Amino acid sequence: MTYSPIANQRFLTALFGGEFPGHALIMAMPGASPIPGDFTVNDEPIGCRVNLIEREYERECRFHEAVGDDSVPFANLHTGTGIFAAAFGCPIVEFEGSNPASQPIVHTAAEADALSEPDPWSSPLGRHLELVAAVRDRLGADIPVSGPDMQSPLGLAAQIWEKAEFMSALIEEPEIAREIIRKCHNLVKNYLIELRKIAPNMNAIHCPRIWGPAELGASVSEDEVGAISRAMYEEFGLRCLIDLSETFGGLYMHCCASADHQYPAFQKIPNLRGLNRVYQSPGAKPALDAFGGRTVHMEWGTLETFRSLLDFDAPGVRFAFCYSPTSIDDAKRTLEVLRKWCPRT
């Protein structure tokens, strides 16, 4: 099969929002160079970071052309999870060999109530928007760029307000908890609006590493829902995701929480285009049964993982299999096996 990024864009657009064209087979580039530090919270010149991103993008293009998978290369402007919290004033701590993270600044209801809602161009978010513009100027307006790691409004509030105290506030101070979630929701939504003005054809998915069309949705990580009941989630978190989906044409979601009990709530999200789960017991089947053919299950793993998922009796299910090869040869061998298992329709 001849490799074509444009054809792959059409294929993935159909997978996420059209007639089923077949399962997607995504090979991650081995040895991807992590971009050092968090650009958004230091004073590194933008040009230096653009040079790093350009070299990595060119290397990724060569890899996917050699392998011939279903990937669409994009300029990786991924960040740590804390830049939205940092816009509210949370300090960012960097760790050697790991992603940077934010520290909470709210510990009481009074501090939460006094928190100001930041502008989407405030630091460090403004730095990311400036970098997006600079990368597009260098690489061209047609090159997809990735957005930052984006927590849901509920998850963002749990970063800003010390998590245990925030969870208690959902019960003891519900109006103030609801208000801080509203501020977080406004920031996420307004930031996405600004980002799409600069990069209307951005890659909408931030996890896993796969291209998703921006016109079919926004992407969030919903990682705190395992700690609360479905009723509480529907009261405090679900409405934000429904609004994001309605605003941006759909939603792609990563969720690594123990959250099977939230599937009835997730089913209320209109146009849930893609779901990336880190499964706990009893595994994948409840998700496959719950979402059927309406949502692409974006799964990472081994050939054994993918075979077991294909063997589930889940009519209409859609998969995007994301494999991390050790080399180009490993990627080609794995892709050959998956092509036999997953022929195009």
Q: Where are the domains of the chain?
A: 5-341
Condensed to tens digits (0 to 9), the pLDDT of residues 222-256 reads 999 999 999 999 999 999 999 999 999 999 999 99
* Residues linked to residue 322 through DSSP beta bridges, in sequence order: 26, 300
CATH C-level class of 5-341: alpha beta
pLDDT of the residue at 44: 80
Give the predicted TM-score (pTM) of the model: 0.95
Q: What is the mean pLDDT of the chain?
A: 93
Other C-beta atoms closer than 10 Å to the C-beta of 58 total 13
Structure tokens at 344: 């195009």
pLDDT of the residue at 345: 77
pLDDT of the residue at 95: 76
d(CA 280, CA 181): 27
Condensed to tens digits (0 to 9), the pLDDT of residues 102-134 reads 999 999 999 999 999 999 998 889 999 999 999
- Cβ atoms 318, 21 nearer than 8 A: no
| Region for residue 135 given its phi and psi (left: phi exceeds 0; alpha: psi -120 to 50; beta: otherwise) | alpha
pLDDT of the residue at 287: 94
Q: Rg for the chain (alpha carbons), in Å?
A: 20
pLDDT of the residue at 276: 97
Condensed to tens digits (0 to 9), the pLDDT of residues 4-60 reads 999 999 999 999 999 999 999 999 999 765 555 667 777 788 888 899 899 999 999
Among 79-88, 100-109, 245-254, 306-315, the range with the most confident prediction by mean pLDDT is 245-254
- Lowest model confidence (mean pLDDT) among 32-41, 192-201, 314-323: 32-41
pLDDT of the residue at 45: 85
Is residue 218 within a helix (H) or strand (E), and if so which, with residue range?
A: strand 218-221
Amino acid found at 215 = E
